[in-house]
Amino acid sequence: MWHKLIPKVCRKLEELGVKYHADASSSLFVSGFCFEMEDFDVTVEWGSIERVRHSFINENPTDIRGCNPRQFTFNIKEHKIDVMSYESDTGIGPGSERQIVSFSGVEIWTKKPSFYLDRMRKDHPIRKEALQYFKVNNARQ
């Protein structure tokens, strides 16, 4: 189901003109590493979270909470979407940390896998397999 939902969410963000990227372990998933994802993490540019929440109003999103990040969640067909925005010049970090990937035939923005892998906690259950996957995958390029 993620292969249908993620492009749908990202298309809506693009229609809104909101810069975004798949974040955290979701960046690994959209970059080709398959695992059982609990939720889709997406970060949007600073100053847009209210507009983004309103665009998903039919999905009954939670209230926006927190300050850095500001965030809200909603569900589509029992799949949780976690939308965040960090207070900074862009809210999504520098362009050097992001890239476009093809996911389910759609180009979407994602944080580079190396960004998350470098910050992933040592005891994360998918860390070893993810490091191996991206080591082999990057060696082929």
How far apart CA 11 and CA 119 sit, in angstroms, is: 28
Q: What is the pLDDT of residues 70-121, one digit of tens each?
A: 999 999 999 999 999 999 888 888 889 999 999 999 999 999 999 999 999 9
**Is residue 139 scored above 60 in pLDDT?**
no
- The amino acid at 126: I
List Cα–Cα distances, 74 to 3, 53, 61, 63, in angstroms: 17, 9, 4, 10
pTM, entire model? 0.92
* pLDDT confidence tier of residue 140, bands split at 50, 70 and 90: very low
Non-local (6+) Cβ contacts of 64 within 8 A are 49, 50, 53, 70, 71, 72
Contact between 64 and 71 under an 8 Å Cβ cutoff? The reply is yes
